[in-house]
Chain A
């Protein structure tokens, strides 16, 4: 029972244990901050990637998926799949009104279906807001401006329909939604909102799209141009997506990419003739021999509640297999089409998969490195305790003289190490929580005061540094901090326990 009393007194009466606790605190905070930011980065990456591609997708980039409406219907009939929607993804060029071109990814969607799969409407940036963002204490977000409410509401509605009233011909015309970083005319503020620069309100601009339709052999046919008004901007939070995606109505993209429904003609035979109704011989023209159905490059799906992405993927594979049997068409260059279709979960999307794996490995590597660095805390505790045991040699002798056992003495120092670990790790956890939760303001302050921009959104993809501490991670890191401290105290504790009490009493 003497151990708690002595632990408390030792802890509060010396500078050394406080230094040890400080070392544990800094190591714990360091590991937790790194893990939280890197883990948050990975999670944001996954969430953002998912926001554009749903949970599971079917892709056939080169030829495209015909009869996709039927496929969507079949997919949505499955219990495992909540919603499915066709899309087209293609490279293109966006030319701003100052003739400045941007390489972009053109994404053709059906807005309602796309929203059901990806929550697209929630990503539309311009809309009237009633409450400011959490960090916008002064309420400076332009979306809070009541005088602009109608204008913002219009942008929101037009963004949802991808249509705008036609100012010249009446009726509605197609419109597009661009990522908030595409035009580079918006300024991201430290408070988290976006404000238009140079008086350019993108949703009232009109840009030109250049698309490059390709033949089934993968050869560019002829560039197509399309001038569309901008209905709204979207923000996924992932820099590459926000700076590189333009969303427009599916049928517009189908049209300019030559993927709409079309008649198929027979091969023209030079020199061939036919007899017309008047009995005259005339050159034979190609005949309509069938209908080429409209095509899309992908079908995105959302897994139904209660089903995993893997369940939805398996269901999609079943549907695709049956569909391939029903339409055993062949592309001009390849054998049975359905075999070339790729069904995968969003994490496995080519490109994204490699990137996610790289980030996971990088996170693991950094954690291992920092854990090794944190071992210095254990060695520091060990060194401090070794010196403290030397200092407390006579105390050990006294305790043994009045009947303390070897295990009791060992437990005294282990407990002491544990107390240092608990104090250090908990304060380290609190420090990490405070820093991670305020990491964006801190980063912005560093930028303003020191000219440092550590988190470059162009490099790290996201416009904001992840600022959440996962309780499970916090528990693991804090627990490890305590464990390392106890391990650090183990050797000195054993030394104290095995000390000869007679020699200890005579120690000077």
Chain B
């Protein structure tokens, strides 16, 4: 049973007066609890695919294009703005190559941010302790218990990415979307980050779509989808 299913995804960006097709009819199914890697060269449309799956962007609606994305059987392409915000907050977690931590917040606050966005003043008053405990537990799990009050600028790259992962997981999403999660780290640090991420994924039964151009990273996934010029050119299941 696919958790997320994309059908004939098409996306064209306009650069000046030129239309640049980035995705040209991508079909993708991701089963619940599985981990797939989207592999491709720079400009192949990997990140765009991730943004569409995560509801950060919408596929083309041109006549003739029948792009559709379904999450757990529900078509997210037809979501209104409020539903899409909720989808990104509750169902999806994003991990970016450059971490995107907010420099003014400390580690714990960055990790809590997803939950803070999702609750109002009353909700926060009721659930502050729970949110803090969950963020703290995730940070401890990723070995950052000594760094809770530190600012991102005081952390190493690996530590920053761990904080970003904790932030992505704080609302216990069903789908984790990681855009080159080790792309900005050295090999050793990247490997340890990936270990931690995949370990958590398998424990939590998390569905994960990981975009990478690194074959070694892609090889850690259950399945690899290779993108080239906006179309899936190869798809294969990894040996366990």
Contacts and interface: CB of A to CB of B under 8 A. Distances in A.
Nearest to A400: B56
A95 to B, nearest CB: 78
With a 10 A CB-CB cut-off, give which of A399, A400, A403, A406 has the most chain B CB atoms: A403
Interface string B80-109: 011001111110001010001110110001
Interface string A1-16: 1100110011001000
With a 10 A CB-CB cut-off, give which of B88, B117, B119, B121 has the most chain A CB atoms: B117
Contacts of B124: 1
Contacts of B96: 398, 401, 505
A395 B54 CA distance: 17
Interface extent on B, as a size class? Answer: 20 to 34
B57 interface: yes
Contact of B117 (A9, A395, A408, A500): A408
A2 B81 contact: no
A398 B109 CA distance: 14
Contacts, number: 73
Nearest to B99: A398
Contacts of B57: 500-502
Interface in A397-423: 397-406, 408
A401 B88 contact: yes
B114 interface: yes
B176 to A, nearest CB: 13
B102 A398 contact: yes
B82 A405 contact: yes
Interface extent on A, as a size class? Answer: 20 to 34
B217 interface: no
Contact of A402 (B82, B88, B105): B88
B56 A403 contact: no
A36 to B, nearest CB: 37
A2 B85 CA distance: 15
Contacts of A500: 57
B123 interface: yes
Contacts of A404: 85, 89, 117
B54 to A, nearest CB: 7
B113 interface: yes
B97 to A, nearest CB: 10
B167 interface: yes
A394 interface: yes
Contacts of B167: 402
Given A5-B105, A402-B94, A402-B113, A505 B100 contact: yes
Contacts of A401: 54, 56, 88, 94, 96, 100
Interface in A343-380: none
A500 B13 CA distance: 13
B23 interface: no
Interface string A402-446: 111110100000000000000000000000000000000000000
B118 interface: yes
B4 interface: no
B197 interface: no
A505 to B, nearest CB: 7
A403 B104 contact: no
B239 to A, nearest CB: 33
B64 interface: no
Contacts of A10: 104
A5 B94 contact: no
Contacts of A2: 113, 116-117
Given A403-B89, A403-B90, A502 B51 contact: yes
B120 interface: yes
Contacts of A395: 100, 102
Contacts of B81: 405-406
B100 A403 contact: no
Contact of A501 (B56, B86, B113, B168): B56
Contacts of B118: 403
Given A402-B88, A405-B85, A1 B119 contact: yes
Contacts of B120: 1
Interface string A471-508: 00000000000000000000000000000111001000
Contacts of B101: 398
Contacts of B105: 5-6, 9
A397 B98 CA distance: 12
7 contacts: A1-B123, A5-B109, A6-B104, A400-B88, A402-B88, A402-B168, A403-B87
Interface of A: 1-2, 5-6, 9-10, 13, 394-395, 397-406, 408, 500-502, 505
Given A394-B100, A401-B88, A403-B89, 17 more contacts: A1-B116, A1-B120, A1-B121, A1-B124, A9-B104, A9-B105, A398-B101, A401-B96, A402-B89, A402-B114, A402-B167, A402-B168, A403-B86, A404-B85, A404-B89, A405-B82, A502-B51
Interface of B: 51, 54, 56-57, 81-82, 85-90, 94, 96, 100-102, 104-105, 109, 113-114, 116-121, 123-124, 167-168
Closest 7 CB pairs of A and B: A403-B89, A9-B104, A2-B116, A1-B124, A398-B100, A403-B88, A405-B85
